[in-house]
Amino acid sequence: MEKIRRIEIIDLFKDSIKETIGQEICVKGWVRTKRGNKSVAFIALNDGSTIKNIQVVADVEKFTEDQLKRITTGACLKVEGLLVESMGKGQSVEIQANTIEIYGEADVEKYPLQKKGHTLEFLREIAHLRPRTNTFSAVFRVRHAMAYAIHKYFNDRGFFYWHSPLITASDCEGAGEMFQVTTLDMENPPRNEEGKIDYTQDFYGKHTSLTVSGQLEGELGAMSLGKIYTFGPTFRAENSNTPRHLSEFWMIEPEMAFFEIEDNMDLAEDFIKYLVQYALDNCQDDLEFLQSMYDKELIERLRFVVDNNFVRLTYTEAIDILSQAKQKFEFPIHWGVDLQSEHERYLVEKHFKSPVILTDYPKEIKAFYMKQNEDGKTVRGMDVLFPLIGEIIGGSQREENMDKLLERMAEVGIEAKDMDWYLDTRRFGSAPHSGFGLGFERLLLFVTGMSNIRDVIPFPRYPKNANY
Ligand code: 4AD
Ligand code: MG
């Protein structure tokens, strides 16, 4: 017998499907809902390829009572039947089932995704099953589309995808928030003469951690291939239980030789706009669903970002604005403080009503590698601030002058001998260069309209949670 062709559900919603009407087809997927009456059952089937379900119409006479009883929400089916035009609204075709094979049942008593309208908090407790919901399948399809668009953007512009190591002996951001990597016996570690743990006996012969950023090795790439980008996981052991922090998150870090801070800002703005436009063009069904469920202004907000220039100003100008603000902040404002999310959001949402790029921060609140300005006080750093999110990008022009860099490292207590490989970029053929890091999940928060970062990554990592 000839095998009946399986069609993915997304293809059933394309115009070209009209040619297949009247033919026998096969669909496979998970039952979202089943309803019906004495003579007919309607099964909404979803295979993950799209937010849309295909309606399977099962004539009660063709199937045994037992068979129909086992078809419940969450069960997985293979359906063969006739593709016909649908009378129901919101769909142009449906399937009149001839045979239904049940690949896997889902016990009504035990399967947790029975009824609709579970809270996001509840779904976070069953993160291994939540991709089966409309919300999370939509979010994760958008996540895929954004990852693809990132590679496309850079590839089309002559950047090379560069792989920085995940295990490293250096702390790029200098914040001391690293997860240690060791194979030493924790119960009984070897000790040196001073009684301290002897890391020379560890796997790498030195103290190592998971990386907080691929930038430092990325700079090596830029100083040879010209324009590179990294896109990989990064790890931060900061004890931040906020809707915007993960301890394992993905970051995109482009690094470009011969780019000054202005070029860096131009690239950051163009890059984000491209990604948002890509989502508008390619994720329409999922964005419309997310808009209808969570955020009525989602698509309007996305369009606004694409259509308007980001406001650019210095940290010092921002401090002036914040000092004059009528709003009372929890963290007081004066020149030199690190901006908190409440300050960033005031600038973006209340004052400018637009994405903002802040530059020229006090050197004390930024990392050692940023290029120092003539004033001796500020560095050529830049943060891109977004509505609802706050900081979405952090970056800078890099200090290319060896002496200035060494001076700054000494001030913050970084041993030059540990960073000799990095300093070689300044020692040999140094060049002006710049780069930035985009937090992938922060971007996804903005694009999907979700409000908790734990809901835009399949298996979130945060303090006290490493399930799955
Ligand atoms: O501002 P950050 O710390 O910058 C760097 O790591 C630089 N080395 C980047 C570079 O210049 N190549 O982090 C960059 C971005 C932030 O703007 C934010 O979007 C995201 O990474 N980010 C986080 N996202 C989720 N959870 C966290 N704990 C994050 N910390 C930073
Ligand atoms: Mg930052």
Identify which of 106, 115, 108, 110 has the alpha carbon closest to the alpha carbon of residue 133: 115
Reported as a pLDDT band with limits 50, 70 and 90, residue 99 is very high
pLDDT digits (tens, 9 = 90+) for 247-258: 999 999 999 999
pLDDT digits (tens, 9 = 90+) for 187-211: 999 999 999 999 999 999 999 999 9
pLDDT at residue number 335: 98
For range 399-408, the mean pLDDT: 97
Residue with tokens 């060494």: 406
Reported as a pLDDT band with limits 50, 70 and 90, residue 87 is confident
pLDDT at residue number 2: 72
- Mutation test of ligand 1: which of 159, 213, 446 has the most ligand atoms closer than 8 Å to its C-beta? 213
Reported as a pLDDT band with limits 50, 70 and 90, residue 1 is low
Verify whether ligand 1 is closer than 6 Å to residue 219 (CB atom).
no
Query: Looking at ligand 1, which atom is closest to the CA of residue 383?
Result: 17
pLDDT digits (tens, 9 = 90+) for 121-170: 999 999 999 999 999 999 999 999 999 999 999 999 999 999 999 999 99
Identify which of 171, 191, 167 has the alpha carbon closest to the alpha carbon of residue 181: 167
Task: Tell me the H-state helices in 234-378.
Answer: 261-282, 284-294, 298-307, 315-323, 341-345
Q: Among 83-87, 172-176, 251-255, where is mean pLDDT lowest?
A: 172-176
Residue type, 77: L
For range 80-106, the mean pLDDT: 92
Query: Ligand 2 centre and the CA of 438: distance in Å?
Result: 10
Verify whether ligand 1 is closer than 6 Å to residue 442 (CB atom).
yes
b/e map 281-311, b = 16+ CB within 10 Å: ebbeebbebbbeeebeebbebbeebeeeebb
Phi-psi region of 139 (alpha: psi -120 to 50; beta: other; left: phi over 0): alpha
pTM above 0.85, yes or no: yes
pLDDT at residue number 115: 74
- Alpha-carbon span 434 to 246, nearest angstrom: 26
Examine the pLDDT at 38 and tell me if it is beyond 70.
Answer: yes
pLDDT at residue number 368: 97
- Mutation test of ligand 1: which of 249, 265, 275, 438 has the most ligand atoms closer than 8 Å to its C-beta? 249
Examine the pLDDT at 175 and tell me if it is beyond 90.
Answer: no
